[in-house]
Structure 1
Amino acid sequence: MAPPLGVQLYTVRDALAADRDAALRRIADIGFTAVEPFDPTADPEGFRRVADGLGLRVIAIHAGQLVKGDPEPVLDAIETLGTDLAIVPAGIPAEEFTTRDGLARTAALLNGLAERAAARGIRLGYHNHWWEIEPVIDGRHAIELLADQLAPGIVLEIDTYWAAVGGADVPALLRRLGDRVGALHIKDGPIDRDEPHLAVGAGAMPVPELLAAAPDALRIVELDTCATDFFDALADSRGYLAQLEAV
């Protein structure tokens, strides 16, 4: 059975800011059953109450605050939201991914956070953009060298689109990373850093091959930007992915 299909709520950030509850209701009405919030400390009790009422499970959360200060209040909020997977989505300088020393410092930071999270029953993950992919050291993408140094319990949430923008053969990268891949960000578009994203299935990404390369990973749809209405693109994305499952 395929993992649940979620939405990274950064996709609908403007709608959330205008009316959180209505935006979540539209996500549920489209047919999604899982979400990945991006601001754990923003009213976690209220968010959990609304999400539960709509049948939306919090399958993971982006928690960039973990690398910006005291992680304990952030971990408190993550516990309240009811997920056991906290993803660091940014906050580490891109330059750290260009040298072995920088990668060692990054791994030490993430390993330390993972130990604190594990004391709460929370797993830590890391989410890439293009800058962890573009640097190639001894024939391997920087994200691969980082993975070698991470504690066993840390997972990677591979943003498949940014990995492609960074120059990776993404299905091959996923296969090499293997069980380290705990989640995928599925997005689509022209594979151009500066062009808007499209509904999944409407762009140049090899989506079936990506899913086949990491069949047990959580699948989370995200559009950082969009050439059309965000909610329409999410509905089209879900329809396309559901059709793939049915094949």
Structure 2
Amino acid sequence: MNLALALYTVYDELQNDLEHTLRTVREIGYQAVEFYGETKWPAVKLKELLARNDLELCGWHVEWKLLQPELIRETIRYHQELGNPNIVIPCLGGPWNIGHTAEENSAAVWEKHAGDMNRIAGLLEGEGMRLGYHTHAHEFEDRFEDVTPWDILLESTKPSIFLELDTGNCLEGGADPVLAIKQAAGRLETVHCKPFSSISGTEAGISAVGDLNDWPSIVRVCRAGGCRYLAIENEAVSRGNKFTVARQDLQSLELHLFDTP
């Protein structure tokens, strides 16, 4: 498994200075990166910078609106030119009301999303790319009688769609990331490794005091489930320099990666 940085961790730094951010991420020791947000740079320039810094692109979080019929062809063209293999839906529903409002939240709506995701995945696969879905807390918290959005995604999306579990979000939603990763075995292109504390929430570091993640078990089930990338994401705003945070989390996760059989 390669270690990637989810660039949401250094989002402001990336927007201010693309070249410096990519160079620093590589110097810290990351092997791959996953982008989030708008495609504000020409694909040819970004591809060249990734190659210059010997960084693998493991995916891009692409907003739901950009995957709709009127915009998806333009989206595909950009990511093909860039050479991005994986397009990840960053969120549906939740407090952001993406794709549906809180009042519309239901099993039927999530079943419709699953059908739309299957259609989108078919288009992407025809162009040599893969679709993924990134989880938040609400996929585990929301319950429609005896089923959650996570259950619906597992059962109703085609197996070629990978489920990008976020360990911290999973814990925040009251679920067990180790169990969730086992449930999604074979559909784990990337797992987001996010520290989460019962005391300070996302103001935490990997393996820092209070971090609820069982990292040895997470690494073990990721390996067993065919995960290719462990993507570190840290949302802390009180821990100082974001590059320093990214370095500390990488060093902590590396210890578990190398020590866990």
**Fold conserved (TM > 0.5)?**
yes
> How far off is 1:97 after superposition?
9.0
Corresponding residue for 2:232? 221
- Give secondary structure in 1 for the equivalent of 2:12: helix
C-alpha contact 1:38 1:63 (8 A) present in aligned 2? yes
Query: Quick one: which of 208, 224, 237 aligns to 2:216?
Result: 208
Corresponding residue for 1:238? 250
Q: Say whether residues 1:25 and 2:23 are aligned partners.
A: yes
Change (3 A) 1:152 1:196: closer
Structure 2: distance between partners of 1:97 and 1:239: 43
Paired residues, number: 244
Change (3 A) 1:196 1:167: closer
Corresponding residue for 1:62? 61
Change (3 A) 1:121 1:109: same
- Give secondary structure in 2 for the equivalent of 1:181: coil
- Give secondary structure in 1 for the equivalent of 2:158: coil
Task: Report the TM-score, using the length of structure 1 for normalisation.
Answer: 0.90
> How far off is 1:96 after superposition?
8.8
> How far off is 1:70 after superposition?
1.1
- Give secondary structure in 2 for the equivalent of 1:60: strand
Q: Say whether residues 1:142 and 2:149 are aligned partners.
A: yes
The answer for unaligned runs of 5 or more in structure 2 is: 92-97
- Give secondary structure in 2 for the equivalent of 1:109: helix
- Give secondary structure in 1 for the equivalent of 2:9: helix
Corresponding residue for 2:94? none
Query: Quick one: which of 125, 130, 135 aligns to 1:128?
Result: 135
- Give secondary structure in 2 for the equivalent of 1:136: coil
Q: State the AA in 2 paired with 1:206.
A: D
Deviation larger for 166-175 or 137-146 = 137-146
- Give secondary structure in 1 for the equivalent of 2:203: coil
C-alpha contact 2:60 2:86 (8 A) present in aligned 1? yes
> How far off is 1:104 after superposition?
1.1
C-alpha contact 1:155 1:181 (8 A) present in aligned 2? yes
C-alpha contact 2:171 2:196 (8 A) present in aligned 1? no
C-alpha contact 2:134 2:164 (8 A) present in aligned 1? yes
Q: State the AA in 1 paired with 2:13.
A: A
Corresponding residue for 2:80? 79
The answer for unaligned runs of 5 or more in structure 1 is: none
Query: Quick one: which of 138, 152, 174 aligns to 1:167?
Result: 174
Change (3 A) 1:67 1:181: same
Measured on the aligned residues, the alpha-carbon RMSD in Å equals 2.1
Q: State the AA in 1 paired with 2:59.
A: A
